[in-house]
Amino acid sequence: MRSLLCFALVLLAPVLYAKTPQAIEQELVRDARRVTYWAEYDGDARLSAIDSLARAGERLREHLLHYTATEPATLSYAFTALQREHIGISTAADGRLRIYSWDTQEGGTMHYFENVVQFRAGSKVASRRLIIPKPDDNPDAGHSYFDIFAVQRGTQTCYLAYGQATYSTSLSYQHVKALTIENGQLNTDAKLIRTASGLRNTLGFEFDFFSVVDRPDRPVRLIGYDARTRELTIPVVWANGKVTDKRIRYMFDGTVFAKAK
């Protein structure tokens, strides 16, 4: 009888100790606030605010990775309070993929961003840190992702994560990055865009932020996607970084996006 009771307790342990999405959010909010606290710290000079900021950022990242990989309810939970702490959350329309983005506060005019990608793998959820490998874009800064476009390629759904990097007060970079879920794993190097240099995982451009500073939207949306026609557009940018009203069109041919003639 005692052994049966112990066995039952073992089976119930995950249920007894599982956290609700609300409790998870409260913990993540505390983590995010610690990041802000150390980023703005101007107290005792004997304390290393830089080291404390780095540790606070690691704590936030590790907790987010843990909960998004073990608690399926987090994939659809709104995390409204967490977003008020400047953690951006973008979710694909089909609800199978989500990106959490935030500024680490460790940069100056160049901003450093962290990203955690959460996705549905069969009946479970999984997550991983998104690190852009060399030589793609600027691997030292990262991007803040604020939208996800989805396109169907046969029976497979492909995702275009839309984000922006901030290299200085004026120099910014926007791109879309292709992601797919394959055999329960996240492929962060899916080749979905054909350019003159071959098949690529990303499509993007540098620009002078001050050339679009008067636009009302934040973040400024310079890349467009029409889900009905499956047309992806980016602006023509002059050599000096000025964004023009002219557009370059990429059409999805059922397999990849290719520049329209």
- pLDDT tens sequence for the chain (261 residues): 555 555 544 454 444 467 999 999 999 999 999 999 999 998 776 678 899 999 999 999 999 999 999 999 999 999 999 999 999 999 999 999 999 999 999 998 999 999 999 999 888 999 999 975 544 455 468 899 999 999 999 999 999 999 999 999 999 999 999 999 999 999 999 999 999 999 999 999 999 999 999 999 999 999 999 999 999 999 999 999 999 999 999 999 999 999 998
Domain boundary (86, 103, 136) is at: 86
Residues 170 and 238: their CA atoms lie apart, in Å, by: 15
For residues 30 and 109, state if they share a domain: no
Instruction: Kindly state whether residues 207 and 110 are assigned to the same domain.
Output: yes
Strand partners, 164: 144, 174
Listed in sequence order, the residues at least 6 apart from 126 whose beta carbon sits closer than 8 Å to its beta carbon are 69, 118, 119, 120, 184, 185, 186
In the structure encoding, which two tokens stand for residue 87, read together? Answer: 């953690």
Q: What is the pTM of this model?
A: 0.90
DSSP state of 18: P
Beta carbons within 8 Å of 23's beta carbon, 6+ residues apart: none
Q: Into how many domains does the chain fold?
A: 2
**Domain extent at residue 189:** 88-261
Distance CA 52, CA 27 (A): 18
Note whether 76 and 105 are same-domain residues: no
Same domain, 197 and 238: yes
Distance CA 126, CA 128 (A): 7
Q: Which of 114, 111, 140, 109 is nearest to 127 (CA)?
A: 114
Amino acid at 241: G
DSSP state of 75: G
Strands laid side by side in the 113-121 sheet: 88-91, 97-103, 113-121, 124-129
Structure-token match 């843990």, residue found:
66
18 and 128 belong to one structural domain: no
